[in-house]
Amino acid sequence: MSKVGRRKFLSIATSVTSVIGGAFAVTPFILSFQPSKKAKALGASIKVDLSNLEPGSLIKVLYRGTPFYVVHRSDDMIAQLKTINSDLRDPDSELSIQPNFAKNELRSMKPKYLVVEGVCTHLGCAPIEKFSIAPADMGPDWRGGFYCPCHGSKFDLSGRVFSGVPAPSNLRIPPHRFENGSILVVGENSEDMNV
């Protein structure tokens, strides 16, 4: 091999080795930009089986550190929603931030299930469920819903805020979808849902 040929061969070999070595050296840095398994798990959606949830009852689930309420509304609860629109600040949910499917009086994908964030829109307290009609502590006009004990905000059985209370907007509806009829997936939108 001549000196020029040998020099060319060594230059190419050194360049190839440098590129391969550089790729191995940079790979850990690039991989460090990916979220960890723990971070992926925190952001992953959760599945909730609703098959054992009785009409008129509620379950609380925790998603990304935030409580969410899932209410299986009875036919009577759904009927009560039609009687209180004039008492609500935003009955058609036009001012709330939520998926498009929730801009109606039921605010749900399936009429019998309500899925809302269990955080008052005033100062972040956790509203409590008050599903009884006209209990002594809520007054004779109460038709069931949620009550925030911190400052007295009231929400109906669709999470819509009443007029004259501190909360500025309806309870938030999270991204969710239903799978196989009774499996609720919180944290994922339905493919056909506009947000």
User: What is the Cα–Cα distance from 84 to 133, expressed in whole angstroms?
Assistant: 13
Q: How large is the C-alpha radius of gyration of the chain?
A: 27
CATH number for the domain whose boundaries are 42-186 = 2.102.10.10
Measured between its terminal Cα atoms, the distance across the chain in Å is 69
Q: Given this model, what pLDDT does residue 130 score?
A: 86
Q: Given this model, what pLDDT does residue 91 score?
A: 82
Q: Given this model, what pLDDT does residue 105 score?
A: 80
Let me know: does 121 contact 170? Beta carbons within 8 Å: yes
Residues in Cβ contact with 126 at an 8 Å cutoff, skipping those fewer than 6 apart: 67, 118, 119, 120, 148
Let me know: does 105 contact 158? Beta carbons within 8 Å: yes
pTM value > 0.75: no
Pairing of strands 57-63, 154-156: unpaired
Torsion of CA 9, 13, 15, 21, to 10 degrees: 180
Q: Given this model, what pLDDT does residue 123 score?
A: 87
Q: Given this model, what pLDDT does residue 166 score?
A: 92
pLDDT-flagged residues of the chain (< 70): 1, 33-43, 190-195
User: What is the Cα–Cα distance from 120 to 101, expressed in whole angstroms?
Assistant: 21
Q: Given this model, what pLDDT does residue 191 score?
A: 57
